[in-house]
Amino acid sequence: MHYFIYAQKDATIYSGSVQGSGKKLEEQNTGADSVLELQRLQPTLLDSTSTVSRILLNFNLKSLKTDVDNGVIPSTAKYCLRLFNAQSTEIPFEDTIFAYPLSQSYEMGIGKFDDVPITKNGVTWSWPDVSGSVASQTWTTGGNFYTSSDGNNTMLESSQSFEAQSPDLNIDVTTIVTEMLQDDYFANGFVDEGYGDEGEPNHGFLLKRSDSDENGTTDLGNLQFFSADTNTIYVPRLEVKWDDVVYNTGTLTEIDPSGDVDVYMKGLRDTYLEKSEPRFRLVFRERYPSRTIYKTPQNVVTKVLPSGSAFYSIRDAHTEEVLFDFDEYTGISSDSNGNYFNLKMDGLQPERHYKIIYKVIASGSVNFYDNDFSFKVVR
């Protein structure tokens, strides 16, 4: 099973200033920008200081915690922070991005980088909400974040390294999220506001380069990622994935997938509500079954594929963007009624169409099936 939790708020915070205009980047809010930036730029003729930026992201984890507490999502689940590259310039051959859990809440704000005059209300490098507020008195410039748990010394640092590429981010943050979801999270010195007004047991993530890179003298260019305010499908997301395959065939026999096999789906609908979790039923049958003559009507025999031989992939029907690829988390299950898989629709963006592709492995060969079916997720 895969599903996504989309960012509910994000922002880029900047240090530095622009010489000609007197613009103080550390006082500028950019919560409404359509891109997020990680910069480390040396001074130019226009800039009086070098520029460093960091990214803040927040996700509502209330329903996730409920599912984990109730055993719907197992403790073995993996969590990955995913951002999609918009445009990157003059980045180094090798680069590493770090993720940490924020230790203080912030207000996203409605500012943009090109605002004149600049928008100061909302999170900036210098304050979490507004200049002179009570919260700003405890805000460390550049944002407050944890690197380890006070209670159990768990390292709360995740990272991803790149070489010779403009990257999409896919950072494994399992350790951080697992700590966030613990009942003793608060006792370990993390959060002092409980679940907060928005229902999340955390303040989100901070993304940055290493201290040595930020404080160095090397120009590291500008990494740009789509933000929550993008008008594209590339909204920042927290991906949750776990193996939910159940293989229990009952009295059903297995079909030999190495022969000619047809695949079709039963009980399909054109639309599904975004809060639903439908079960997609699959039927695998021999294309050329052996013929036997009976004197009385016979029921159609349902067969199932062998365990571990079939997988599904979810794609955007318009862009062909792969959302969930064939992997250990998209296996096909079976029960006494045949093969199936479950899909959490709240992990897909509503008001878009999606399609399903199947992959079947047999005797060293791989076959793909596309029955040209698409469905729409609706609010």
Query: In sequence order, what are the beta bridge partners of 287?
Result: none
Neighbours of 81 (CB within 10 A): 24
Question: pLDDT confidence of 34, banded at 50, 70, 90?
Answer: very high
Neighbours of 349 (CB within 10 A): 16
Tell me if the bond preceding 257 is cis, omega within 30° of 0. Answer: no
User: How many percent of the chain have pLDDT more than 70?
Assistant: 87
- At residue 263, the pLDDT reads 86
Question: pLDDT confidence of 197, banded at 50, 70, 90?
Answer: very low
User: How many percent of the chain have pLDDT more than 90?
Assistant: 58
- At residue 150, the pLDDT reads 56
Neighbours of 317 (CB within 10 A): 17
Candidates 51, 58, 53, 12; CA nearest to 31 is 12
Residues 6 or more apart whose CB falls under 8 angstroms from that of 260 comprise 286, 287, 288
- At residue 195, the pLDDT reads 32
Ranking 26-35, 39-48, 54-63, 109-118 by mean pLDDT, the lowest is 39-48
User: Is 128:107 a contact under the CB 8 Å cutoff?
Assistant: yes
- At residue 294, the pLDDT reads 54
What's the whole-number mean pLDDT along residues 322-351?
Answer: 94
What's the whole-number mean pLDDT along residues 289-296?
Answer: 60
* Cα 104 to Cα 194: distance, rounded to the nearest angstrom: 12
Ranking 228-232, 262-266, 329-333, 348-352 by mean pLDDT, the lowest is 262-266
State the chain's mean pLDDT as an integer: 86
- At residue 165, the pLDDT reads 72
| Per-residue pLDDT reduced to its tens digit, 109-130 | 999 999 989 999 999 999 999 8
Candidates 224, 209, 227; CA nearest to 50 is 209
Residue 356 burial by Cβ neighbours in a 10 Å radius (0-12, 13-18, 19+): buried
What are the structural domains, with CATH classification, of the chain? Answer: 2-241 (no CATH), 253-378 (2.60.40.2840)
Provide the CA 151 distance to its chain's centre, in angstroms.
Answer: 28
Residue 23 has pLDDT above 80, yes or no: no
| Per-residue pLDDT reduced to its tens digit, 135-194 | 788 888 899 998 876 555 678 899 999 887 768 999 999 999 998 887 655 444 444 333
- At residue 210, the pLDDT reads 93
Give buried/exposed letters for 84-123 (b at 16+ CB in 10 A, else e).
bebebeebbeebebbbbbbbbbbbbbebbbebeebbbebb
